A and B are shown apart, each in its own frame.
Chain A
Amino acid sequence: EVQLVQSGAEVKKPGESLRISCKGSGYRFTSYWINWVCQMPGKGLEWMGRIDPSDSYTNYSPSFQGHVTISADKSIGTAHLQWSSLKASDTAMYYCASSSIPAAGDDAFDIWGQGTMVTVSS
């Protein structure tokens, strides 16, 4: 079964650093881009950026460029989303997602992780 499995919930203080992960299984990890999507409590979805696991090439939303870093380690089939200095406004659910539908564009996200809840509070 093709799936993305994310790391567990995190509680952090403002200013702390954090890295969350998304591990692919059931397929060749380098086959599909890994996207990150955030959802603030009670709010909608927002695309943050993506990475090509084969060469670690990234695209970022202008809204998140410079505030988060997306990386991948293809040797262990895992992508990461990291912050160097968290803010309270980073409190959200973070999903990784990929598009595996044959012949579809990279924007049709049919595989989703279960989500990682990040809470930033002093």
Chain B
Amino acid sequence: QSALTQPASVSGSPGQSITISCTGTSSDVGSYNLVSWYQQHPGKAPKVMIYEVSKRPSGVSNRFSGSKSGNTASLTISGLQAEDEADYYCCSYAGSRTFYVVFGGGTKLTVL
């Protein structure tokens, strides 16, 4: 199972909005509404920002939103803030007969 495809980097200025794409296949992203997004700051453990394509866990800012179309999921961050600068990983359920999840390669977000 190959990793999901994400852009290596994206950037934006404070206050702007950015979108990170996550492309999979009909065996993972395209088949299940089980896409999650993780934020990881340097030297820290990942933190879930979005699960089940578009749901936000308690405590996550509503500036973060998720969507999906076909085999591609997207994470949008609106009103960019300096603290949003981090690596972002998408993750999709990909199991057919057994539990399996696959991560994307990660996207480095730079806030200019």
Contact = CB atoms under 8 A, between A and B. Distances in A.
Contact of B103 (A47, A59, A115): A47
Contacts of A115: 45
B34 A45 contact: no
A25 to B, nearest CB: 16
A46 B103 contact: yes
Interface in B13-59: 34, 36, 38, 40, 45-48, 51-52, 55, 57
Contacts of B51: 101, 104-105, 107-108, 110
Interface size class of B (residues with CB under 8 A): 20 to 34
B93 interface: yes
A62 B99 contact: no
Interface size class of A (residues with CB under 8 A): 20 to 34
Contacts of B104: 44
Contact of B105 (A44, A97, A110, A112): A44
Given A46-B103, A105-B93, 12 more contacts: A47-B91, A61-B100, A97-B46, A101-B57, A104-B52, A107-B101, A108-B51, A108-B57, A110-B48, A112-B46, A112-B47, A113-B45
Interface of A: 37, 44-47, 50, 59, 61-62, 95, 97, 101, 104-110, 112-115
